[in-house]
Amino acid sequence: MAHLKLKIEFGGGLELLFSNQRTHFVAIPSTVPQGDNKGQPADINFLTHWLRDNLLKERPELFIDTGTVRPGILVLVNDTDWELEGEGEYKLREDDEIVFISTLHGG
């Protein structure tokens, strides 16, 4: 199966759910292997579920809520707000850098 290499970064306290490590290099399937979207190119929605199943260590409800990234978590795709890139439907490319930052931790 073909894979995509990505750089993932967590900030704003989210890193605590991911072994307290901010930067991760991962290789994910380039197409969705199973489920309703089987065979579709991997997008951020698929990535977030993959991260939950493969990288997340605790409290998944703080990362995913009703099928997508929990409100209050900012996502950047190659340093651009994901709201400009189609949000969860953004199709991932080799060497993309995806950043997740929680805004929900104390100020």
Partner 1 sequence: MAPKSCALCQNSKAILRRPKTGQHICKHCFFTVFETEVHNTIIQAHLFKPGDRVAIGASGGKDSTVLAYVMKTLNDRYQYGLNLFLLSVDEGITGYRDDSLETVKRNQEQYDMPLKIVSYEELYGWTMDRVVSAIGKKNNCTFCGVFRRQALDRGASGLGVDQIVTGHNADDIAETVLMNIMRGDIGRLGRCTAICTQGEDMIRRSKPFKYAYEKEIVMYAYFKKLDYFSTECIYSPDAYRGHARAFLKDLEAARPSAIIDIIHSGEAFELKEEVRATQKSQQTCKRCGYMSSNDLCKACSLLESLERGMSTAITDKGRRKLEAQGLTPDNMRTIPYFHPSSSVDAEAES
DSSP notation for 9-52: EEETTGGGGTTT-SEEEEEEESB--SSTTTTSBPBHHHHHHHHH
Q: Does 104 sit near partner 1 (CB under 8 A)?
A: yes
Site string for partner 1, 15-54 (x = CB under 8 A): -x--------------------------------------
**Which residue, 83 or 94, is less far from partner 1 as judged by CB?**
83
**Which residue, 27 or 104, is less far from partner 1 as judged by CB?**
104
Q: Does 67 sit near partner 1 (CB under 8 A)?
A: no
